[in-house]
Amino acid sequence: MEMTGSLPVPSVQAMVAAGRHAPVPPRYLRPDLAADVVVADDATTIPIIDFQRLLLVDPEESARLHAACQDWGFFQLINHGVPDDVMEAMKASIQSFFALPAEAKQQYRQQAGQLEGYGQLFVVSEDQKLDWADVLYLNTQPPEHRNLSFWPAGESFRQTLDTYSAAVKHVADRLLGAMYMNLGLQLSIMDMDPERGAGIQSVNQLQGLQIKRPPDGGGAWAWLPVTPLQGAFVVNVGDVLEIFTNGRYRSVEHRALVNAHTERLSIAAFHSPSIHATIGPLPELLGDQEVPKYKTLDHQSFITLFFSAKLQGKSFLERMKKLS
């Protein structure tokens, strides 16, 4: 049976409330992570990109963006123009939702075969390791893709999310345009919708996000903690752009670690191709000589492969690679 939703799992918040001193269930434990190498050098940080300078087509800033996408796959975006009050209102609305009683949040729980709603994303088997987190996943843009039955009731939340998602879409459209200019492409080629794929993330100032980095002088790969800048967006290139660019831009493995004492809030906006798009290396970028590294699939086949990789515990990008 084709799997395109997420299996129901217990609420982490409910488990914590029911037994604050109870042991964490085994499905959430990752003892293997204790051996991971974590970079302790505070001087090593992901690139910082100034959005306003990109809008002015500043050649140095455009070059920094290009290098960040090629070498890091992550960067922080400052001066993005989304007003502070819009960002703070969004954070407050999300915090208010997760502060609701458990039975109130359950009104918006994920349904069978669906990703939208309250629960966890991409749970595809009963023995799968789970994140110590609860998620509210909503399609926000374009408005005709919204399913308001999953949107928490109340004009304030819905108006706030509408305003915030429109502001982030404005940033994402122009940021993607700058990336495409760096690649010598036209924006209309990729025709991105702000739903799923490449990501823009707003977080509270609590550290937890880490990205995997190759060693500078040899040795084991290491995890680099990302310290979020006040008011900045953390931007992740993601799998789709790595495929479109035939590996020129990198999708980087990343993770979020929990804090034993403080909750971590993350508001992620995922952007993906139109449901009518074909996903694969762009012919306009490949030219006549370059060999495509990835398969080309229609949107439905792409989604099916994504969930198949999750079910089998395999890397999605590895499944997309063409056999040599």
Using the predicted structure, report yes or no on whether residue 164 has a pLDDT greater than 90: yes
Nearest to 240 by CA among 250, 231, 230: 250
**Domain for residue 22, yes or no?**
no
Using the predicted structure, report yes or no on whether residue 145 has a pLDDT greater than 70: yes
Could you give the CA distance from residue 38 to residue 121 in angstroms, rounded to a whole number? 26
**Domain for residue 91, yes or no?**
yes
Could you give the CA distance from residue 212 to residue 253 in angstroms, rounded to a whole number? 6
Mean pLDDT of 154-178: 92
Could you give the CA distance from residue 119 to residue 113 in angstroms, rounded to a whole number? 13
The strand pair at 48-50 and 74-78 is best described as parallel
**pLDDT at residue number 126:** 80
**pLDDT at residue number 41:** 66
Percent of the chain whose pLDDT exceeds 90 = 42
Mean pLDDT of 206-214: 81
- Residue 250 · residue 73 · CB < 8 Å: yes
**Domain for residue 194, yes or no?**
yes
**pLDDT at residue number 29:** 85
**Domain for residue 17, yes or no?**
no
Higher pLDDT, 202 or 274: 274
End-to-end CA distance of the chain: 30
**Domain for residue 20, yes or no?**
no
**Domain for residue 21, yes or no?**
no
pLDDT single digits (tens) 170-199: 999 899 999 999 999 875 544 445 433 345
Higher pLDDT, 263 or 118: 118
Using the predicted structure, report yes or no on whether residue 254 has a pLDDT greater than 70: yes
**Helix ranges (DSSP H) in 5-78:** 12-18, 51-55, 59-71
8-12, 186-190, 207-211, 242-246, range with greatest mean pLDDT: 242-246
pLDDT, averaged across the chain: 84
pLDDT single digits (tens) 13-42: 888 888 767 788 888 888 777 767 787 766
**Domain for residue 12, yes or no?**
no
DSSP summary character for residue 126: T
**pLDDT at residue number 160:** 96
Q: How many domains are contained in the chain?
A: 1
Mean pLDDT of 233-238: 92
Higher pLDDT, 270 or 41: 270
Give the domain extent around 47.
Answer: 29-320
Per-residue confidence band for 6, with pLDDT thresholds at 50, 70 and 90: confident
**pLDDT at residue number 72:** 94
Higher pLDDT, 281 or 122: 281
**pLDDT at residue number 242:** 94
Could you give the CA distance from residue 95 to residue 99 in angstroms, rounded to a whole number? 6
**Domain for residue 120, yes or no?**
yes
> Which pair of structure tokens corresponds to residue 144?
């005709």
CATH of residue 199's domain is: 2.60.120.330
> Which pair of structure tokens corresponds to residue 54?
């990109």
- Residue 90 · residue 161 · CB < 8 Å: yes
Secondary-structure percent of the chain, ordered helix, strand, coil, rounded to 5? 40, 20, 45
Least confident of 198-202, 207-211, 223-227, 286-290: 198-202
Could you give the CA distance from residue 75 to residue 70 in angstroms, rounded to a whole number? 11
Per-residue confidence band for 218, with pLDDT thresholds at 50, 70 and 90: low
**pLDDT at residue number 189:** 44
